[in-house]
Structure formats: structure tokens, C-alpha cells
Structure 1
Amino acid sequence: MRRDTSNDKEDKPAGSPAVAGSQTLLRGLDMLDKVVDGPVKLAELSQRMELTRSTTHRLANALINRGFLTHLPRDGYQLGPKLIQLGFLAQSQADIVQIARPRIEELAAQTEDTVHLGRMENDQALYLDKIPGRRRVDISSRIGDRQPLTSTGLGKALLIDAQEAEWERLFDDDQAGGAPRADRATWFERMRGYAGAGHAFDLEENEDQIRCVAAPVRDVSGRIVAAISVSSAAQYMDDDRMTTLSADVRETANAISRDLGWTPDAKPARGRR
């Protein structure tokens, strides 16, 4: 039978409470991780925690009293309502521009090209931030600009998870609204490729002689909430360099996503009709 050593350090003489308190806190946090995938019964939770049932039960009850866990009589322990509240508060306090800024500054320095951050708003790509590159390339975009989703790399990255019916609606709306003319069949073929690759290109479709590589940024649920792009003159963005840049842009977008709480397995399945 496993020996319960949970109180060994907690019963130490005066001078060690900080150590004991830290150990209890870490155990509580570990317990939250153990039930993250769904309800867990006491015996299984005890095994996962490598503690006796009595210690596991006592620790779980403390978390229940604070709202971090709940107990379902037939199913076991699961995450509690306090975490929902904290999650909403954390999300409301997360400023994506502030979070992304160090990442996109690093990407701009690495590539020497202009980096944008944007999100979707009212069926347009809204530019939230811009880090100018070191090259003498005039990129006409400005923070606060709104551009067509279907002709910009940033916009296409924002649409990677959308159904084709949504692509069709937005493509038709943009074409009717004055976006640069595009061949429908070519656009859809490219978008299917972008959806599979996890990044998108602007091949001088929105601005003459300007190309870009873009990738989506996801939140904790896996939903696309923003996108980043690297833009430069076509002379610096031949096909080979765009292919090479794609990995760097995706890596930076994924790093920002992780800062927002995303994990790779949170990516939603992409629906198609």
C-alpha cells in the first residue's frame, strides 16, 4: 500500500512554511491539469497524482471550496466555474497588439521586411499594427486601414478555416465592391492550397509589385482571431523566398497563438461544402 507522505514537509518546524505552501500550490495546479480532459473519479485521480486517496480527496475538496473543481457523483472531478470566470477575465485583458508586438518586431528584424498584424472586422481585414522593414520599400498600408479579405495575404490567412460557401460570398462581395479583379477558379484553387498549408500569399493581387506571406493567429479555442504577414517588393519576394518565409511566418503566428493560450490540438476541424 502506498504511504501518504503529503504531510511530511508540512509538519516541519517553523521556518519552512513557504516550502510547504509552494508544494501544496503546485499539487493543486497539477490536479487541475489531471482533470482537464474531463471528469476523473477519485481512484483514477489518486493514481494520476501519485498520492493516496485521502490526500487526493482532501486536496480536491479544497479546490472545490474555491470553485476551481466540481464533483459529479457518478462521473468524478472536473474543472469548476471559477476557471470559466478567470478565463473570461484573462481573455478580456489580453491585448493582442501588446502580446504580438515583441514577436512581430523580431520577425521584422529577422526578415528586414514590413510585418503587419490584423484581424477581421465587418468582412474586411483591419490592420492593427505595422512594423516597417529595413529595406527601402514603400508599403502603402497604415494602422487602421481596412482592405479586402480576398485580395490581401492577411485577409486570406484570416479565411483559412472558413467554408467554401463563405469564401464564395466574400469573393463575390469584394469583387462587386471594387477589389482588384481576380479569376474565380484560380483564386479558389489557391485558397484550397493555403488552407492545407496553413499560410497564404498575396501575389501582387492587392498592390502592384508588392508580395506577402501571411499566417493565422489562433486563440485558446483554436479559432482564428488575427493574422500576421510579411510584405516586401516583388524583387525581394521570388517564389523560393516566399516558400522559405512561410515557415518563419507560421512559426511566429504559432508563437503568438501560444501566448494567447492556443495548443496545436485545439485547432478546429475545417468544414467544407
Structure 2
Amino acid sequence: MAGNARDPGVSVAARLLALLGVFDEKASALTLTELADGAELPIATAHRMVRELVEWGALVRAEDGRYVVGRRLWKLGLLAPDQSDLREIASPFLHDIYGATLATVHLAIRDGDEVLYLDRLAGHASVPAVSRVGARLPLHATGVGKVLLAYAPREVHDRVLRTLTRITPYTVTRPAQLESELRRVHRDGYAQTVEEMTLGACSVAVPIRGGDEDVLAALGIVVPRIGRDRARLVAALHVAAQGIGRSLRPA
């Protein structure tokens, strides 16, 4: 970082930003000591500033005592033009899918080695789901995550495949099996999961492409079971994803 936060000439704002700058995709939950060390601040100064950030809603103290980014910062992040435009453009298409299926619908992007949920419409069916707007979940265990992983840069792909954690008994943790599924995403145009993130919840997801055909996001749906409905669900998602993609392209 520019300068040293311990320098008396460094502004309070710079010290607060230094604390927030310690967080990244590899360090999303930090102790007070880790924050102080990362921001190069005395522990007493870091404690006082972290307390103020918690009071404002920029940080949240988790049950284990570590600090994570709070929802107030997340809401500010949604005002960034790229994410706010994507959510606004995608919203009517999400509502169309929800209206046709009454199932939970997700709009997500990749944030580092995780899925970041930009929008979510909760379905009527009693399907357990841990997703929420602003949540980050594993790429390898979610439908939208598998889509995003299939089109992620090679270094992301390799990192994720080295750390496949088991979340339910059905989570795919063998790299060769996941590789095969990711190849099918390219071939068939969709990904699916069966109780890999949450027992009792299955998902189907498709990519959303921009004007240059790059995959910008993923659109998914969560249902109690897929079975014979897969083709219908995939078709509905593809229509919506194509509509979102067209709307994102400059006129």
C-alpha cells in the first residue's frame, strides 16, 4: 500500500481504507490481529477503527471472533455500473422464469474462486437453499458455479480443482469427474447439481454471454428434483440468458 498507515501524517480515511484493503478472496474472514498486521496499524488503533466500521455496517464480527465484510459495503458495491446494470437488465427475465416455474432463480457472477450471488427470487416450493443476495458459495458445488468455473481462467480452474471440499455426501470432489462435467457444460450449454450444496435441492444453470461472447454471469434455477423437467428448465433458462445477453450489448 502507498505509505505506512502508522505514519502520523496518514489520514484517518487512508487508515480505514488500509483495513478494508486487507480483505480479498483468499482472506475473507480475518482476526483483529491479522487486520492490524495487514494494514500496518497498532493493535489499539486497529481495534478502535474496526469497532467504528462494525458500527457503520462495513464489517461484521462473526461468531468465531473474526471479521467479515458487511452488507452495507455489499450494497454500495452493487451501485458499481457493471453489477447494477446487469441486475437491472436481468431482473425482468428472472421474474419471467419465476412466474413460469415458481422456483428459486439465481443470477450470479464469479468473484475470485467463489460464486457471488447478485440477485435471487425465492421460489414457492419448500426447497432448502443457503443462497442469498451477496452470498459467496463454492464454484464446484453449485449449478451457477459450475457454469462460471467452466469458463474461468485456467489458473482459477486449477486452484479450485486442487481444493474440492465435500459439503454433502453428493458433492463432486474427484477432479476427473468435475473436469468431465465442465467439458459437458461447453458441449451441452448447461450445468446441473443434485444435492451437492444442500440436501433436497437440485439446480440447473446456463451461461450469460456478452457482445463478445465472453461469459459474464450465470443464470440458474433451484428445484426439489430435475428428472423429466430438465429440458424444459434448460430451455427456459437459455431463452432468458439470451435475452439478457442481447440487452447487455451496445445498440
Q: TM-score, normalised by structure 2?
A: 0.61
**Structure 1 equivalent of residue 244 of structure 2:** 256
**Structure 1 equivalent of residue 109 of structure 2:** 119
Distance 2:84 2:127 in 1: 32
User: Unaligned stretches of 5+ in structure 2?
Assistant: 1-80
For residue 191 of structure 2, the aligned residue among 200, 206, 211 is 200
Distance 1:141 1:92, change over 3 A: closer
Counting only pairs closer than 5 Å after superposition, residues 1-273 of structure 1 correspond to structure 2 as: 95-162=85-152, 166-175=156-165, 180=171, 182-234=173-225, 237-238=226-227, 240-261=228-249
SS at match of 1:247: helix
Distance 1:104 1:166, change over 3 A: same
CA contact (8 A) 1:139 1:232 kept: no
Distance 1:174 1:184, change over 3 A: closer
SS at match of 1:202: strand
Distance 1:129 1:112 in 2: 16
Distance 1:93 1:104, change over 3 A: closer
Shift of 1:126: 0.2
Distance 1:92 1:138 in 2: 30
**Aligned residue identity for 2:94:** I
Q: TM-score, normalised by structure 1?
A: 0.56
CA contact (8 A) 1:218 1:262 kept: no
RMSD value over aligned CA atoms?
A: 2.5
Distance 2:193 2:147 in 1: 10
Aligned length: 169
Distance 1:93 1:154, change over 3 A: closer
Q: Deviation string for 1:183-229 (max 9, x for gaps)?
A: 22222212111111111111211111210110111222221111110
Distance 2:239 2:128 in 1: 26
User: Where has structure 1 moved over 6 Å in runs of 4 or more?
Assistant: none
CA contact (8 A) 2:164 2:173 kept: no
Distance 1:184 1:93 in 2: 31
Distance 1:148 1:257 in 2: 24
Shift of 1:261: 0.9
User: Unaligned stretches of 5+ in structure 1?
Assistant: 1-90, 264-273
Q: Deviation string for 1:28-82 (max 9, x for gaps)?
A: xxxxxxxxxxxxxxxxxxxxxxxxxxxxxxxxxxxxxxxxxxxxxxxxxxxxxxx
Shift of 1:233: 1.3
Distance 2:248 2:118 in 1: 16
Q: Deviation string for 1:106-128 (max 9, x for gaps)?
A: 10111111000110112110001
Distance 1:195 1:165, change over 3 A: farther
CA contact (8 A) 1:126 1:145 kept: yes
Structure with max Cα Rg: 1
Distance 1:174 1:186, change over 3 A: closer
**Aligned residue identity for 2:113:** D
Using the aligned pairs only, state the percent identity: 29
**Aligned residue identity for 2:178:** W
